[in-house]
């Protein structure tokens, strides 16, 4: 977003250009400065707006997405909401395929409010949670008007954060930071911001955070299903950009999300809580005078009924 903008052409103009906010109470005892980037200020309520508009507009430029097309994605929430939002602005249909066992009424309601069709699927069977991606692949291959955004493999998801999120961090800190912390979900934030920050200053510490109940980045061996898995995760592991991985349980992330609301007035979600827990741990280790930056991924409104650390 251009903060000097008086009249926007559409809500898409309000994506990005999110300022940093200093934590004044949480982590104060470390003597370090912890800065958070409240990405839930994006129009659909998460940092995935950056990714959704970048993927869709690149697909338009490449001729893969044309008027009357339907966008499909397998998603648990934030990417689905962002795609539904951008699709609504641009006039596309959007269908989200959501795993039945992790469906949450808040996330589903947000997608549906933007006009999305939401279809649940069972993760039982040989493909497990990849079943949703297989549905998307089959639809794209059999229906000429369907485009699958491929959030876990689309390199535009990385480019969006490298070209916008990271540049905002560098600009707003005058390039002076010691560590960046980000939860690992699809991997786009961690890889994109990490690439840009390491290029700016290779000594900046890049810390990945992930749920202890579902470790992906720290997993030693993963089965790659061609066309369905791998993608950004493989790129991230091969990049060597991540200096440290912190695994956190749900309770630590939930408690910090509550603290952020009650002590800092920041109404963010559970993965944001995990990011701040990891940022405080980094601050304790790095010590006074150091600056740690992290992103607050989404809004607390999608965790009213189910509080869990999912990315």
Catalytic residue status for 134: no
The pLDDT of residue 106 is 86
Catalytic residue among 37, 48, 90, 134: 48
The pLDDT of residue 237 is 83
Going across the sheet that includes 244-248, the strands are: 21-22, 33-38, 291-296, 179-183, 205-211, 244-248
The pLDDT of residue 213 is 74
Q: Which two tokens stand for residue 311?
A: 């990315």
The pLDDT of residue 302 is 86
* Own/partner long-range contacts of 255-261 (Cβ < 8 Å, ≥24 apart): 256/26, 257/300, 257/303, 257/307, 259/26, 260/26, 260/296, 261/300
The pLDDT of residue 276 is 98
Q: Which two tokens stand for residue 195?
A: 């690439």
CA 178 to chain centre: 22
Domain boundaries, the chain: 11-41+159-303, 48-148
| Common-topology check for domains 11-41+159-303 and 48-148 | yes
| Among 144, 40, 62, 53, CA closest to 90 | 53
- Rounded to whole angstroms, how far apart are CA atoms 49 and 57? 12
| Among 59, 36, 39, CA closest to 48 | 39
pLDDT in tens, 261-278: 999 999 999 999 999 999
Domain 11-41+159-303 sits in CATH at 3.40.50.1100
Q: Which two tokens stand for residue 162?
A: 């490298």
- Report residues of the chain scoring pLDDT below 50: none
The pLDDT of residue 220 is 59
The pLDDT of residue 231 is 79
Q: Which two tokens stand for residue 182?
A: 């980000």
Alpha-helical regions (H) of 180-308: 188-200, 232-239, 250-264, 270-286
The pLDDT of residue 187 is 87
pTM (2 d.p.): 0.93
Q: Which CATH class is domain 48-148?
A: alpha beta
- Rounded to whole angstroms, how far apart are CA atoms 38 and 267? 9
The pLDDT of residue 112 is 95
Q: Which two tokens stand for residue 178?
A: 């010691």
The pLDDT of residue 226 is 60
Local structure of residue 45 (DSSP, 8 states): S
* Complete DSSP assignment for 56-73: HHHHHHTTSS-TT-EEEE
What is the SS3 assignment for 12-37?
HHHCCCCCCEECCCCCHHHCCEEEEE
Phi, then psi, of 249 in degrees rounded to 5 = -85, 165
The pLDDT of residue 245 is 94
């Amino acid at each position: 977003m251009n903060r000097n903008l008086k009249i926007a052409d559409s809500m898409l103009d309000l994506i990005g250009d999110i300022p940093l906010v200093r934590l004044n109470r949480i982590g104060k005892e470390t003597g370090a400065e912890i800065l958070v980037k409240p990405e839930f200020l994006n129009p659909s309520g998460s940092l995935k707006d950056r990714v959704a508009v970048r993927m869709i507009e690149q697909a338009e430029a490449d001729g893969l997405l044309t008027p009357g097309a339907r966008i499909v994605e397998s998603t648990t929430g934030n990417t689905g909401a962002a795609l539904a939002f951008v699709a609504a602005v641009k006039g596309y249909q959007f269908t989200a395929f959501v795993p039945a066992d992790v469906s949450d009424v808040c996330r589903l309601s947000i997608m549906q409010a933007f006009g999305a069709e939401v279809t649940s699927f069972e993760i039982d069977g040989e493909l497990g949670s990849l079943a949703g991606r297989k549905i998307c692949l089959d639809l794209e291959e059999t229906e000429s008007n369907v485009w699958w955004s491929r959030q876990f493999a689309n390199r535009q998801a990385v480019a969006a954060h490298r070209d916008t999120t990271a540049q905002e961090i560098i600009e707003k800190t005058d390039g002076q930071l010691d560590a960046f912390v980000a939860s690992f979900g699809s991997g786009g934030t961690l890889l994109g911001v990490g690439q840009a920050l390491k290029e700016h200053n290779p000594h900046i510490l890049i810390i990945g955070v992930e749920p202890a109940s579902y470790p992906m980045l720290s997993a030693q061996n993963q089965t790659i299903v061609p066309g369905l898995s791998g993608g950004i995760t493989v790129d991230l592991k091969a990049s060597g950009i991540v200096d440290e991985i912190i695994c956190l349980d749900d309770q630590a992330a939930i408690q910090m999300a509550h603290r952020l609301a009650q002590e800092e007035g920041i109404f963010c979600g559970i993965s944001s809580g995990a990011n701040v827990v990891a940022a405080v741990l980094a601050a304790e280790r790095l010590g006074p005078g150091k600056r740690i930056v992290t992103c607050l991924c989404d809004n607390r409104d999608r965790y009213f009924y189910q509080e869990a650390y999912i990315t």
